[in-house]
Amino acid sequence: MRAVDCPCGLTLTGNSDEELLRRAFEHRDQHHADDNIPDEFVRETVVKNARDITEGATTSTP
């Protein structure tokens, strides 16, 4: 299981980096649509900050 923290404070989780990236884009589109966050920022945030987590850890998903 992989996780990354959004700058807004929400922790996103996924089974792979690809799933995590998809969820990060969905989160951006649903919760930050008016912020004009570029795709590259989302990609860089996931690539640089994604981490392994223990399954069952307390996290939030969109």
User: pLDDT for 8-45, tens place per residue?
Assistant: 999 999 999 999 999 999 999 999 999 999 999 999 99
Q: What does the pLDDT read at residue 57?
A: 55
- Here the tokens at position 37 are 């966050």
Q: DSSP string of 16-44?
A: SHHHHHHHHHHHHHHHSGGG---HHHHHH
Query: Domain locations in the chain?
Result: 2-52
Q: What does the pLDDT read at residue 6?
A: 94
What is the residue whose two structure tokens read 């640089």? 48
Maximum pairwise Cα distance, the chain: 33
Please determine, for residue 62, whether its predicted confidence score (pLDDT) is greater than 80: no
Predicted TM-score (pTM) of the model is 0.83
When pLDDT is cut at 50, 70 and 90, the band that residue 54 belongs to is confident
